[in-house]
Amino acid sequence: MAKTKRLSFDDRYTHSSSSSFANSIESGVSQHRGRRVPVQGMMDSVDYYCDEDMVHGVLDHEYIHQARDTLIHELYQNEKAYVESLDLLVKLFIQPLRQQLEPPPNSRFPRATKTPVCTQREMRWLFCNLEDIHRFHRSILTVVEQRLRIFGPTQIISDILHDHIFEHLGKYYGTYLDRYDIIITTYSRLQKYAPFRKFVEATQRDERLKGANLLSLLQIPAGCISSYAQIFIQLANATPPDHPDYAGLYHVKRSIFGLYEEIRPKIDQADNIDQVLMLHQAFVDAPFDLHEDRRLILQGELTRVSAKAQQSTRHYSLLSLDALRNPVQRLSAAADSAKNERLVILFSDLLLYVQARQEAKRTVLVYKDHMDLHYAQVRALPVEEIGLPHCFEITSSFTGIDALSGTWVASPRSHTLQTRNAEEEENWVYQLSSVIAELAKGNVRMRQRQGSDQSDRTNRSN
């Protein structure tokens, strides 16, 4: 599900084969070199004697020019399509939502005719700096269009790529990616508010969207830098060393690769946030909503072992040591009805149990149980203790009101889960331990802030 791929860069003018990006870069030129029919036909129609190496040299130069020209026009078409998407986002969503919040012209009183679809603050949270990004890309499109009107085989493009695009990408998209969790969380929350949901559903029926929706338009900018990085590097690799733009594009190639590597963790975070949203949209009867700090850590099918199954396997292991050493015999001897196969999802704050169910046109995840991982502990269980292989136990010492579900937890809870093999067990225990450790650090920081706030209030009162 990942949207981004890791770039691989080689300082020499060669194509690296160590990454998907590099492979696509390498194939970019070879694909264009495969278009030999028109050029070869033209050369065959010329009746004169010449050196065969010279002919191939001319052909190669023409193929490289075609590859470079194709990539430049691809850059233009991509930019044009992106601006059109941002145009729709602004015209169909942002402007109408802003208008319903503004008072009528020449009015001394604020608009109060109907329930607002959303507030000014929610507008800022939802759309972040998208209007700035929109203006930025409209200016890029204008500059590229002007250059293409006079474009020729020796024309340069690197100055536009560097001065008009690269120099500003980090500023605009760093801000957007930093706030992407708030954007998606705000969208998810507003979708549960009837006036906003009705507005969105009505707007999304507009034929100009061609099947796109508000969420997809909000997600597009998260992949912008990756797209630029790929086509910039392809363009640099398709430009021969004797071309006037070679040095400039080589500099752009190094610069965009550095920016991509710097901002890639934010892109990966945005991808993770999209996955978390997609899971929450599939949940049925879950007693909690999407949280901006929640991240997906791990998921898989595990067997939840009940107390009845543990007692059964312990009893069987006392009767037969050979059976204890034989997982097949042990599992058949245990009470299968007391064990439940579940899809288990580990988030950065909780462990969730769901059951997949196929509905009319989609798969839903029916909520079964969860465990808040604040103040939890996890340990691997030896076979001798439980009578089953590849098991671990997670225990929550929390008592009180569960902040996620709003229910009262009267006593500590303990869950035993069985994996399919030792490697899987080790991974689950490691990931759970890491999540619990991070939550413990967060608890310490929260207590320190609370203590600092209390101290400040005390000092002000004195």
Q: What CATH number is attached to the domain comprising 201?
A: 1.20.900.10
- Same domain? For 306 and 278 the reply is no
Min mean pLDDT across 110-114, 182-186, 248-252, 320-324 is at: 320-324
Residue 9 is assigned to a structural domain of this protein: no
Six-digit token pair at 2?
Answer: 């990942």
Residue 290 is assigned to a structural domain of this protein: no
Domain carrying residue 230: 20-41+50-284
pTM for the full predicted model: 0.77
- Same domain? For 196 and 329 the reply is no
Six-digit token pair at 417?
Answer: 């889960």
Residue 64 is assigned to a structural domain of this protein: yes
Residue 4 is assigned to a structural domain of this protein: no
Min mean pLDDT across 40-49, 295-304, 382-391 is at: 40-49
pLDDT of 331 above 50: no
Q: What is the pLDDT of residues 381-397, one digit of tens each?
A: 999 998 899 999 999 87
Give the mean pLDDT of 4-29. 36
Residue 407 has what pLDDT? 62
Residue 63 has what pLDDT? 72
Count other Cβ atoms within 10 Å, centred on residue 300: 15
- Same domain? For 136 and 273 the reply is yes
Cα atoms in the 13 Å half-sphere on the side-chain side of 143: 17
Provide long-range contacts, Cβ within 8 A and 24+ apart, for 429-434: 429/378, 429/379, 429/380, 429/392, 431/297, 431/298, 431/346, 432/346, 432/351, 432/373, 432/376, 432/378, 432/392, 432/394, 433/378, 434/297
- Same domain? For 272 and 418 the reply is no
Who's near 105: CB < 8 A, 6+ residues apart?
none
Secondary structure class of 378 (helix, strand, coil): strand
Q: What is the pLDDT of residues 137-192, one digit of tens each?
A: 999 999 999 999 988 888 899 999 999 999 999 999 999 999 999 999 999 999 99
192 vs 187: CA distance, rounded Å: 9
Q: What is the pLDDT of residues 86-140, one digit of tens each?
A: 999 999 999 999 998 876 565 554 554 567 899 999 999 999 999 999 999 999 9
From 284, 315, 339, the end of a domain falls on 284
Who's near 98: CB < 8 A, 6+ residues apart?
123
Question: Per mean pLDDT, which of 2-16, 369-383, 405-419 is the most reliable?
Answer: 369-383
User: Please, what is the angle between helix 20-33 and helix 224-237, to 10°?
Assistant: 50
Residue 345's CATH number: 2.30.29.30
User: Of 304 and 47, which is predicted with more confidence?
Assistant: 304
- Same domain? For 210 and 341 the reply is no
Angle (nearest 5°) at CA 256 between 255 and 260: 120
CB 71 within 8 A of CB 82: no
User: Of 15 and 265, which is predicted with more confidence?
Assistant: 265
Amino acid of residue 216: S
Residue 13 is assigned to a structural domain of this protein: no
Best CA proximity match to 340, nearest among 378, 373, 369 = 369
Six-digit token pair at 378?
Answer: 């996890």
